[in-house]
């Protein structure tokens, strides 16, 4: 990755001014292994941070201006304290603004600031690069202003600042993963009660392969389909909770849906069944990891993909092909789609000595489907932190 500290000093002419404090922080991307299609605002995930990062450098200015540099793009944006709001033309710079808002709301003497950021998190494939920008910025500002704030408060306040700026909902789980992750650990995240549990990874002899299928998303069509499914599961929850006020999907078992089959339209039943079963799969997968039961874990991941394909119906032939090729190899401890669906990525947990065999099997993918997949080897990474350069 670029030497962001030196780039920052060059950009803002600080090389001869060693008295100016520069705070630099990095935040990881994340991957959901299970659960990302769950109940809105009450998600239950098996996730991890990954070893792809966003880095942000910041120092104070003497005026009330903000300067933003995207070092990877060679692009610059400007702003002021009085017009600190979402602006479409600011594009990437908008994602540094929630952290600024957060520290203003905490009562810090925020005036002018210089920012530089860069990163190597792949874009547009649901690895939470935007959240990483926000968390890296907040971590750098926390260090710059010497602020004491605990992890949960930081996650909740940053989420609230994002929602104020962008006027949309954000996933608390993404912030919690980015802020609380630990190297070589999975995270069991329960957004409904703001709990995070760390689980040591038993996959020291394995590699995690992330494959971007390169299937073009359907644009507004995909967004419409995803919104339709969210609507279906909310209707399903409404039907389930008619006699159990205040309950969520976590309070029901698959047998509850079977008993209520007559009251459910078929499509809502399928979507709801996926959510209820997925919650149990998250629990079961965490238990399997804790007892190092890799065979059971692999089966759970397989069942989850089948459910996304058959009940939630957000997979596609290309994604199913990638998963099937992986599952044919003995020594794979799980392969599944990840992300919003209708294209996107798969992940495969595979013994390290079999990685090249799996990659060789992927050579047919472009011939069959016409897309060249992009392959990333990732590791489970640590939380956001201050760094020195």
Going from the C-alpha of 314 to that of each of 120, 166, 213, 318, the distances in angstroms are 27, 26, 14, 12
Q: 258: which residues sit within 8 A by CB, 6+ positions away?
A: none
3-state secondary structure of 202: coil
User: Dihedral of CA 15/18/19/25: which sign?
Assistant: positive
Q: Is 174 a catalytic residue?
A: yes
**Which residue in 90, 153, 174, 190 is the catalytic one?**
174
- Neighbouring C-beta atoms of residue 271, cutoff 10 Å: 25
Q: Which alpha helices (H) appear in 24-150, and where do they start and end?
A: 97-105, 129-144
Number of helices and strands in the chain (H, E): 12, 12
Strand order in the sheet with 206-212: 332-338, 345-351, 206-212, 374-378
Degrees, nearest 5: CA angle 168-173-176: 115
Would you please indicate which residues are annotated as catalytic (active-site) residues? 174
């Amino acid at each position: 990755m670029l030497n962001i500290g030196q780039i920052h000093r060059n950009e803002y002419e600080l090389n001869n001014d060693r008295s100016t404090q520069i705070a630099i922080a990095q935040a990881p991307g994340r991957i959901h292994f299970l659960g990302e299609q769950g109940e809105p605002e009450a998600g239950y995930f098996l996730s991890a941070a990954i070893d792809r990062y966003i880095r942000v450098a910041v120092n104070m200015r003497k005026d009330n201006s903000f300067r933003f540099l995207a070092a990877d793009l060679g692009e610059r944006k400007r702003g002021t304290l009085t017009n600190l709001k979402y602006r479409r033309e600011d594009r990437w710079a908008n994602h540094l603004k929630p952290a600024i808002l957060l520290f203003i709301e905490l009562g810090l003497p925020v005036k002018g600031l210089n920012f530089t950021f860069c990163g190597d998190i792949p874009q547009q494939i649901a690895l939470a690069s935007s959240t990483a920008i926000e968390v890296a910025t907040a971590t750098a500002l926390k260090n710059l202003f010497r602020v004491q704030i605990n992890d949960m408060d930081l996650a909740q306040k940053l989420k609230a600042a994002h929602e104020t700026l962008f006027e949309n909902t954000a996933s608390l789980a993404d912030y919690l993963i980015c802020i609380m992750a630990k190297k070589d650990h999975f995270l069991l995240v329960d957004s409904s009660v703001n709990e995070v549990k760390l689980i040591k990874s038993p996959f020291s002899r394995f590699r995690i392969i992330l494959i971007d299928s390169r299937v073009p998303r359907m644009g507004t069509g995909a967004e419409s389909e995803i919104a339709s499914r969210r609507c279906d599961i909310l209707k399903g929850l409404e039907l389930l909770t008619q006699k159990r006020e205040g309950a969520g999907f976590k309070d029901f078992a698959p047998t509850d849906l079977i008993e209520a089959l007559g009251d459910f339209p078929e499509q809502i039943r399928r979507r709801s069944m996926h959510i209820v079963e997925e919650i149990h799969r998250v629990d079961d997968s965490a238990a399997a990891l804790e007892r190092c039961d890799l065979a059971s874990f692999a089966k759970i991941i397989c069942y989850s993909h089948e459910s996304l394909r058959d009940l939630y119906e957000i997979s596609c032939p290309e994604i199913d092909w990638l998963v099937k090729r992986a599952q044919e190899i003995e020594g794979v401890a799980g392969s599944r789609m990840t992300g919003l669906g209708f294209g996107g990525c798969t992940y495969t947990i595979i013994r390290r000595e079999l990685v090249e065999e799996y990659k060789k099997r992927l050579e047919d993918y472009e011939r069959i489907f016409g897309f060249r997949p992009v392959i990333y080897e990732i590791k489970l990474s640590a939380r956001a932190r201050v760094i020195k350069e």
